[in-house]
Every structure is written in C-alpha cells, then in structure tokens.
C-alpha cells in the first residue's frame, strides 16, 4: 500500500477542489484535505467551508463547570464525607485537574498554527487524540468517585465512544487492533482539521477507509464531558440544598443563651455561692452540645479546623483548672484559677461567635 496519493493532490489549487475531487482523492476516498498548508477546505456533499466558521462552532470543556464542582467538593461537610474514602477523593481531584490539563492542551491545538513539518504534524495529531481520550477517562473517573456510576460511552454517548474507538485505532493499538486488524495512517492527509486512515482485516482482506473530522471529534468529546459535568453539578447543587435545609432551623448560637449568666455566677468571688459551681459546669455542657452539633453537620469536629483548634484550647483550660491547679500551693490556687476562668470565658466567646457565623452561613444560602 502506498503511503501517499500522488503529490498532485497537494499541488491542486483551491479552485480545483471546489470543482471536484481529483482522481487520486477518489481512489483514496479523501473528503478533507490541506491546500498549501494554510487554508483548510472541507468538501462534504458539495459544501465547502473555511476554517474560520468551524472554529466558532467548536465546543470545548467548560472551565467554569470544573471550578464549580471544585467549590462543591471543597465544602467542609462534603470534603469530610469524601475523605472517609481517600481513594475516591484522590481519584476525583485527579480527574478534575486532568480535565483542566487536557483542556489547556486542546485549546492550544485550536489556537496555534498546525505544523508544516511532518514530524510536528504527528506530534500535534497524536497529542490531540490522546488528550481527547484522557478527557473521557477523566470524566468517567469523576462519575465513579462522586456517584459510584461508571459511564457506558457506547450506549450513553455514542458520538464520544466513536472518538475513543478512532483514537484506539490511530494512537492506541494501530499495529494490532481487534486481533486481526491493522491501521495505516495516510501521512499526506494530516491536517489541523482532518486526516484519514485505513483499517485492514488480515483475515478477510477487507480494507475500511475512515475519514476523521478533527474538529468534530473535539466537539463531540467536549459535548459529552460538559453534559456529564452539568449533570454532576445539578446533583451536587440538589444535595447541598437538602443539606442546608436539614440543619438550617437549628441555631447553634442558642447553645450559648446562658453563657452570660454562667459567666456572672462563675466569676463572682464568693466561695459560698453554689451557683458559681453551676456556672462552671454549665459551660462544659455548652461545649459538649456544640461538639454534638458539629458532628451532626460535619461528621467530625476535626473536619472544621477553626472549631477544632479552639475546642482544643478550651479543653486545655479545663484540664488546668480541674487537674493542675489543685496540685499547686493553696495560696496561689484562687488567683491562678481566676485568671484561667477569664481565659476560659474569652475562649467561649470566640466559640459563640464561630457558631453565629455558622448560623449565618446556613441561613443566607439561597438568599440573594
């Protein structure tokens, strides 16, 4: 098999292509060619279009959709849930970053000049097809990690599946495809917008020539990926709305309704006042209820750093008051305890403020 039709194909003028196929192109079933390496003419059922019109219609993967999904999975409660399975979290974040990376590569392909040198043509074409294939793998990984759903491209997105199959022919397994088929890429046909190849069956001696619309492949892959991203975003939005509604009515700040009263009774310098002991114990009850509410909302206290570090400080103050102060000299106990109680209530004020911010977050969602 000749690698190329005669060089007359490349020397034909644009006007000759408008009038019809040359003999070599009919022989090799070419319907997309490059003339003079600077203008792409697409001949399809008698219609001819320049590259400019095509570029405007090409869909690419939406960075905005990727950004919105990143925002969802980095919400405190969602991230805490996802991180219970580290493998899923890693697969999801890897998929999102890979979608961004491959999109940069594809957009560069569309924006840059296609090489005139054959070496560069192969690099551009092989790289593009691999980027399209990896995009489909990445969106499947996203679906598996987020929703435990594997995408069946063949039945759900047949156009994108055709791109996968074409990539497997040309880049994946050209030297041994489907046990008995072998791929021959027509070198001379390589252009920014198209190329063609033959698939030969050694068992049947049948040759199938396949024309590739490169822009169509980019468009179909992006349409598939964006559709799945939109569906994922809709599901994440719905899930988040349900989460907000589940917890919105419970006000965390109400846990601290008695904080000021407890402060007054605890800090009164009167050893005979039993309410002083009550006030101190009441603060522990408030802290416990706060922790319980955090677990309901976020799974664990550790999921929210601002709460975790503040609660660690509060428990350290409790330990000093309950365990350490009784072991020091009696004359110094009351004075040190007074200062530690002041620190405790200062920390509890911070905790109350954090809870108020949390309430505002749940209350304001969905309000413009």
Does 199 score more than 70 pLDDT?
A: yes
User: What is the rounded distance in angstroms from the CA atom of residue 354 to the CA atom of residue 310?
Assistant: 10
Please give the C-alpha separations between residue 135 and each of 98, 132, 142, 222, 300, in angstroms, as whole numbers: 7, 5, 11, 8, 35
Instruction: Map out the domains of the chain as residue ranges.
Output: 52-242, 249-362
| pLDDT for position 206 | 87
Mean pLDDT value across the chain: 84
Between residues 17 and 65, the one the model is more confident about: 65
The larger pLDDT score, comparing residue 56 to residue 18, is at 56
pLDDT of residue 366: 55
For CA atoms 291, 292, 295, 297, give the dihedral sign: negative
Split at pLDDT 50, 70, 90, the class of 202 is: confident
Give the separation between CA 27 and CA 17, rounded to whole angstroms: 15
- Stronger pLDDT, 150 or 21, i.e. the higher one: 150
pLDDT value of position 56:
56
> Is the pLDDT score of 242 beyond 70?
yes
pTM, two decimal places: 0.76
Query: With bands split at pLDDT 50, 70 and 90, how would you rate the model's confidence at 19?
Result: very low
Phi-psi region of 2 (alpha: psi -120 to 50; beta: other; left: phi over 0): beta
Token pair for 112:
């840059």
Torsion of CA 151, 154, 156, 161, to 10 degrees: 90
Range scoring the smallest mean pLDDT among 43-47, 262-266, 298-302: 43-47
pLDDT score of 126 more than 50: yes
Paired tokens of 58: 């090409």
Of 38-47, 57-66, 193-202, 341-350, minimum mean pLDDT range: 38-47
Q: Are 213 and 194 in contact (CB under 8 A)?
A: yes
d(Cα 218, Cα 366) in Å, to the nearest integer? Answer: 36
d(CA 195, CA 186): 7
- The pLDDT tens digits for 75-112 are 999 999 999 999 999 999 999 999 999 999 999 999 99
Distance CA 161, CA 78 (A): 31
Which DSSP state fits 227? Answer: H
pLDDT at 176 over 50: yes
For 96, 142, 236, 333, the CA distances from 283, given in Å and listed in that order, are 44, 45, 37, 20
Asked if 251 contacts 312 with a C-beta cutoff of 8 angstroms, the reply is no
């Amino acid at each position: 098999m000749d690698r190329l039709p005669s060089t007359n194909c490349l020397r034909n003028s644009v006007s000759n292509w408008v009038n019809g196929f040359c003999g070599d192109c009919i022989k090799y079933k070419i319907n997309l060619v490059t003339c003079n390496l600077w203008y792409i003419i697409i001949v399809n059922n008698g219609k001819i279009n320049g590259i400019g019109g095509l570029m405007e219609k090409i869909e690419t993967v939406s960075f905005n959709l990727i950004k919105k999904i990143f925002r969802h999975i980095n919400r405190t409660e969602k991230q805490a849930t996802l991180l219970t399975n580290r493998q899923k979290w890693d697969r999801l974040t890897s998929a999102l970053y890979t979608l961004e990376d491959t999109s940069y590569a594809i957009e560069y392909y569309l924006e840059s000049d296609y090489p005139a040198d054959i070496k560069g043509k192969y690099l551009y074409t092989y790289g593009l097809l691999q980027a399209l294939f990896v995009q489909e793998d990445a969106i499947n990984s996203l679906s598996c990690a987020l929703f435990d759903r594997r995408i069946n491209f063949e039945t759900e997105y047949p156009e994108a599946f055709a791109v996968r199959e074409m990539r497997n022919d040309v880049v994946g397994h050209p030297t041994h495809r489907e046990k008995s088929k072998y791929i021959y890429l027509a070198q001379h046909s390589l252009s920014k917008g198209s190329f063609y190849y033959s698939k030969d069956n050694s068992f049947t001696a049948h040759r199938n020539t396949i024309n590739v619309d490169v822009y169509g492949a980019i468009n179909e892959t992006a349409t598939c990926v964006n559709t799945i991203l939109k569906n994922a975003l809709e599901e994440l939005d719905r899930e988040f709305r349900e989460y907000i509604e589940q917890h919105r009515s419970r006000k965390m700040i109400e846990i601290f309704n008695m904080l000021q009263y407890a402060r007054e009774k605890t800090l009164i310098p009167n050893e005979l006042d039993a309410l002083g002991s009550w006030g101190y114990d009441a603060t522990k009850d408030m802290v416990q209820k706060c922790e319980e509410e955090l677990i309901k909302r976020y799974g664990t206290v550790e999921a929210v750093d601002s709460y975790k570090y503040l609660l660690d400080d509060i428990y350290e103050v409790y330990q000093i008051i309950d365990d350490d102060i009784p072991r020091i000299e009696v004359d110094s106990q009351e004075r040190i305890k007074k200062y530690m109680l002041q620190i405790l209530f200062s920390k509890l004020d911070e905790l109350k403020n954090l809870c108020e911010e949390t309430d505002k977050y749940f209350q304001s969602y969905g309000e413009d």
